[in-house]
């Protein structure tokens, strides 16, 4: 039987019932923002040869010692080495090779002197000043050694990580499949934006809210074609339609105990395994979840304010788990309220907030409900029973 749960318990129960989606190999150019499904290690040293880190002149071991005496040293330029040249050259005392940044060092090269630091006279250079052994040389494996980990399993592959993977010469990457999240909005009062509205009707804004939240979490929203009326059979049919084509189903509306709140009845009708019915938190206290054919079914409040907050705190952790993302979970942290909550209540509440920086310190400004002027919502605040006065420390997560 489904029971009411605390928020943390509800999150854990949902996460315990799912696992990361299967993986597939993708070409590196198609892997942006996908999640690595295995540790990625460099198969080679990067670079895989000793190279010059500057445009300059290669100095042999013997000539390096001479330079240390402080006397100017004249060397004959006998070659120019371009980056990309794979020809192995040898440098002898009394000679130098002009060498470009990133080019293969000639054998016997002990350091490279900057071209700005030499005087050029025909095919001779005059160098002076002391150089350290290995100066301006990048050794093989300077960036990465063969076998070194470039990206751990579970990491979202951003531009910088993809650059490192490419630098190792890896062409195909094993990544998790992207979760497809089916969004169903129930409510006989709902209309899609663009349709003429009659008194008593409202536009379905949860569809935009939830599909944007899904997309913003790096998953694919799959939207029900139409609005689903508060009708048991319609809800059941839509869940049956959604299950084979998605990895998780989010249904808004119908979490209450009114005559037409039928989503949970649909869960029961379908024999879905109940996970919880109700969460001990406001808003969203009517939120429920069940497991149907291995997929999580969530029922969020129809109230968009509640649906948005519950998506962030309850659904997002499960979505990250489905993605195989082991690193993006948000940590709750403590922050001071810059202004009071409208009404202090004797129970735990979640609310939206803005992060403010004042004189180098960070504060949270609560933003309540749907009927506020649009603000840059950057936080969700967790207000404990009795909290909410200016200066109170509350818990928060940053939205991204
Ligand atoms: N007797 C009680 N009634 C209510 C309680 C209660 O404790 N006792 N709780 C209230 C709270 S709090 C909420 S939240 C709602 C929960 O409602 P439902 O999840 O059943 O959602 P609906 O009744 O369908 O809608 C609530 C509200 O939101 C509007 N809505 C619904 N869907 C959408 C949508 N897709 N886009 C935009 N707006 C939507 C809907 O028209 C309602 O105004 O129950 C309270 N009642
Ligand atoms: O529980 Mo309602 O979901 O407070 O807004």
**CATH (domain of 312):** 3.40.980.10
In a domain, 146, yes or no: no
- Based on the domain organization, do 314 and 343 belong to the same domain? no
Same-domain check for residues 56 and 35: no
Summarize pLDDT for 384-400 with one digit per residue, the tens: 999 999 999 999 999 97
Where a domain ends, among 129, 159, 176? 176
pLDDT tens per residue across span 115-150: 999 999 999 999 988 899 999 999 999 999 999 999
Claim to verify: residue 190 and residue 308 sit in the same structural domain: yes
Q: Give residue 289 CA to ligand 2 midpoint distance, Å.
A: 16
Residues 228 and 342 in one domain: no
Distance of CA 125 to the CA centre of its chain: 52
pLDDT value, residue 70? 86
Burial class (CB in 10 A: 0-12, 13-18, 19+), 183: buried
* pLDDT higher than threshold 70 for residue 371: no
Residues 16 and 86 in one domain: no
Residue 84 predicted with pLDDT over 90: yes
* Helix or strand holding residue 174 (H, E): strand 172-176
Judge if the beta carbon of residue 308 lies within 6 A of ligand 1.
no
Residue 144 within any structural domain of the chain: no
The model's pLDDT over 21-54, given as tens digits with 9 standing for 90+, comes to: 999 999 999 999 999 999 999 999 999 999 999 9
Q: Is the CB of 303 under 6 A from ligand 2?
A: yes
For residue 105, what is the domain's CATH number? 2.170.190.11
Domain containing residue 392? 333-398
| Nearest atom in ligand 2 to 310's CA | 3
Considering its fold, how many domains does the chain have in total?
4
321, 18 Cβ separation under 8 angstroms: yes
**Which pTM was predicted?**
0.92
Of residues 372 and 23, more confidence is placed in: 23
Decide whether any atom of ligand 2 lies within 6 Å of the 306 Cβ.
yes
Q: Where are the beta strands (DSSP E) in 192-280?
A: 202-203, 220-223, 248-252, 273-277
How confident is residue 63, by pLDDT bands cut at 50, 70 and 90? very high
Please tell me if the CB atom of residue 283 comes closer than 6 angstroms to any atom of ligand 2: yes
pLDDT over threshold 80, residue 270: yes
Q: In the block, which residue shows the tokens 């071991």?
A: 61
Q: Do 113 and 167 have their domain in common?
A: no
Total residue count of the chain as it appears in this document = 400
Check residue 93 and give its pLDDT: 94
Model confidence over 329-368: pLDDT tens digits?
999 999 999 999 988 999 999 999 999 998 999 999 999 7
Domain-embedded: residue 62: yes
Establish whether residue 204 lines the binding site of ligand 1, counting it when its CB lies within 6 angstroms of any ligand atom: yes
Closest listed ligand to the CA of 288: 1
Pair 262, 243 in one domain? yes
Please indicate, yes or no, whether residues 220 and 317 belong to a single structural domain of this protein: yes
| Spatial contact of 383 and 350, defined as CB atoms under 8 Å apart | yes
Domain contains 145: no
Interaxial angle between packed helices 316-323 and 7-16, expressed in degrees from 0 to 180 and rounded to the nearest 10: 20
Let me know if residue 37 belongs to a domain. Answer: yes
How far, in Å, CA of 270 to CA of 236, rounded? 7
| CATH number of the CATH domain containing 159 | 3.90.105.10
Average pLDDT, the chain: 95
Answer yes or no: do 236 and 265 share one domain: yes
Residues of the chain above pLDDT 70, percent:
99
Atom 46 of ligand 1: nearest residue by CA position: 256
- If you take atom 2 of ligand 2, which residue's CA is the nearest one? 283
Q: Is residue 266 domain-shared with residue 246, that is, in the same domain?
A: yes
261 in contact with ligand 1, CB cutoff 6 A: yes
What is the predicted pLDDT for the residue at 372?
Answer: 67
Atom of ligand 1 nearest to the CA of 301: 19
Task: State the distance from the centre of ligand 2 to the C-alpha of 215, rounded, in angstroms.
Answer: 24
Q: Does some domain include residue 214?
A: yes
Which of 275, 294, 323 lies at the terminal end of a domain, its last residue?
323
Any domain includes 2: no
**32, 172: one domain:** yes
Task: Kindly identify the ligand whose nearest atom is closest to the C-alpha of 279.
Answer: 2
Indicate the residue among 323, 351, 384 that finishes a domain: 323
Is residue 187 domain-shared with residue 286, that is, in the same domain? Answer: yes
User: Is 376 domain-assigned?
Assistant: yes
């Amino acid at each position: 039987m489904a029971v009411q749960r605390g928020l943390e318990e509800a999150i854990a129960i949902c996460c315990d019932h799912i696992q990361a989606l299967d993986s597939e190999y993708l070409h590196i150019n198609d892997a942006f923002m996908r999640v690595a499904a295995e540790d990625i290690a460099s198969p080679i040293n990067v670079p895989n040869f000793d190279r010059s880190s500057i445009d300059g002149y290669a100095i042999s071991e013997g000539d390096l010692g001479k330079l240390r005496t402080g006397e100017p040293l004249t060397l004959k330029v006998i070659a120019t080495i371009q980056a990309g040249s794979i020809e192995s050259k040898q440098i002898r005392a009394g000679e130098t090779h002009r060498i470009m940044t990133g080019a293969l060092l000639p054998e016997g090269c002990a350091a490279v002197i900057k071209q700005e630091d030499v005087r050029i006279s025909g095919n001779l250079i005059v160098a002076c000043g002391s150089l350290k052994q290995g100066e301006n040389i990048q050794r093989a494996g300077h960036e990465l050694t063969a076998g070194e980990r470039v990206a751990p399993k579970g990491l979202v592959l951003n531009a910088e990580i993809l650059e490192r993977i490419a630098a190792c010469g890896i062409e195909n990457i094993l990544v998790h499949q992207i979760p497809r999240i089916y969004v169903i909005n129930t409510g006989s009062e709902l209309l899609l934006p663009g349709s003429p509205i009659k008194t008593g009707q409202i536009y379905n804004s949860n569809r935009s809210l939830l599909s944007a939240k899904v997309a913003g979490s790096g998953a694919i929203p799959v939207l029900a074609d139409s609005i689903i009326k508060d009708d048991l059979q319609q809800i059941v049919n839509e869940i049956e339609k959604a299950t084979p084509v998605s990895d998780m189903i989010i249904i808004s509306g119908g979490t209450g105990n009114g005559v037409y709140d039928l989503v949970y009845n649909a869960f029961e009708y379908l024999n879905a395994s109940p996970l919880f019915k109700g969460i001990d938190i406001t808003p969203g206290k009517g939120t429920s979840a069940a497991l149907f054919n291995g997929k999580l079914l969530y029922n969020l409040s129809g109230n968009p304010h509640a649906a948005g907050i519950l998506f962030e705190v309850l659904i997002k952790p499960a979505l990250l788990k489905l993605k195989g993302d082991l690193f993006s979970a948000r940590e709750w942290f403590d922050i001071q309220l810059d202004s009071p909550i409208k009404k202090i209540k004797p129970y735990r509440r979640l609310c939206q907030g803005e992060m403010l920086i004042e004189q180098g310190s960070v504060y949270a400004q609560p933003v309540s409900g749907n009927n506020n002027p649009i603000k840059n919502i950057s936080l969700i605040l967790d207000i404990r029973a009795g909290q909410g006065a200016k200066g109170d420390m509350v818990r928060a997560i940053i939205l991204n």
